[in-house]
């Protein structure tokens, strides 16, 4: 079996399959939050110990829903949130990394999540209009003040990770990565060497790998799983620092995703998926 835990930041043991909460709210908070609350509570029952959200998900309502569902939080649960992406309109995302804005959003997240310290606070996007060192400096200030425990980054390259690490320790990198889209291989290799959590978003991917006769489907038949489960199992096998956060609003899909941790790919199956 794949290693079940990763030490996030060197001191927070988390299950290697987390939960991405974005789909619980989309743009608007649900009129009836009960189904979403049921899903996130079920995630904890299945062993999830890392939940990923952001200030921009439903303009903060996603964080509020998590607090409604789970507060007071059980010991060992890590709720990671992010700031640095504004939502000027439906379907619109705009990086916003002014230090005062990042600090303001962290304060709002603290209130919405009902915590005194955010275990993992990530820069959602690098704002090209603001010096990178200033954006990281704001997160360092929050860490120094005890308002966040660990700092993470998203959609960054190796040079940016190294620059950030000269200012503050970096516990995680959240980049787009899956079987079909591996543009950040160099970043993953760097994180592996540095034992920085690599949190791939859109972890199931798509494209030819997801076709009915594709590599994922063929291996899924061999292991008695689904293509989605095999996609997650492949990520877990790719590096011991990978912590995927598949999101869903369905308890059935949630259970399927978590069961991927029990799938062990042979080296031959891993290579066949990597190079179909």
How many separate helices (H) and strands (E) can be counted in the chain?
A: 10, 11
As a whole number of angstroms, the distance between CA 186 and CA 184 comes to 5
State whether residue 169 is helix, strand or coil: coil
Residues with a known catalytic role: 57
Give dist(CA 148, CA 46) in Å, integer: 27
| Burial of 117: CB neighbours in 10 Å, binned 0-12, 13-18, 19+ | middle
Backbone angles phi, psi at 174, to 5 degrees: -115, 100
Q: Which two tokens stand for residue 146?
A: 């005890």
From the centroid of its chain, how far is CA 176? 10
d(CA 107, CA 273): 43
Q: How far is CA 190 from CA 3, 18, 194, 234, 250, in A?
A: 20, 21, 6, 19, 34
Backbone angles phi, psi at 29, to 5 degrees: -65, 145
């Amino acid at each position: 079996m794949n290693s079940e835990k990763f030490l996030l930041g060197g001191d927070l043991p988390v299950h290697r399959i987390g939960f991405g909460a974005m789909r619980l709210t989309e743009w608007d908070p649900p009129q009836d939050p009960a189904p979403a609350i049921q899903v996130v509570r079920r995630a904890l029952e299945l062993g999830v110990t890392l939940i990923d959200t952001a200030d921009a998900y439903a303009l903060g309502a996603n964080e509020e829903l998590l607090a409604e569902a789970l507060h007071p939080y059980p010991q060992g649960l890590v709720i990671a949130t992010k700031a640095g992406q504004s939502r000027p309109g439906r379907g619109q995302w705009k990086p916003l990394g002014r230090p005062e804005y990042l600090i303001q959003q962290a304060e709002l997240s603290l209130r919405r999540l009902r915590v005194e310290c955010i275990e993992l606070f990530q820069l959602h996007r690098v704002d090209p209009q603001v010096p990178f060192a200033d954006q990281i400096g704001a997160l360092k200030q929050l860490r120094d003040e005890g308002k966040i425990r660990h700092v993470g980054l998203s959609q960054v390259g190796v040079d940016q990770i190294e620059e950030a690490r000269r200012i503050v320790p970096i516990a995680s990198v959240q980049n787009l990565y899956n079987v079909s889209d591996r543009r950040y291989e160099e970043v993953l290799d760097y994180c592996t060497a540095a034992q920085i959590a690599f949190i791939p978003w859109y972890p199931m991917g798509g494209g030819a790998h997801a076709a009915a006769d594709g590599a994922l489907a063929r291996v899924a038949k061999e292991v008695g799983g689904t293509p989605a489960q095999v996609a997650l199992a492949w990520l877990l096998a790719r590096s011991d620092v990978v912590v995927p956060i598949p999101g869903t609003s369905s308890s059935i899909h949630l259970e399927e995703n978590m069961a991927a941790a029990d799938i062990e790919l042979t080296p031959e199956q891993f290579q066949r998926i990597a190079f179909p």
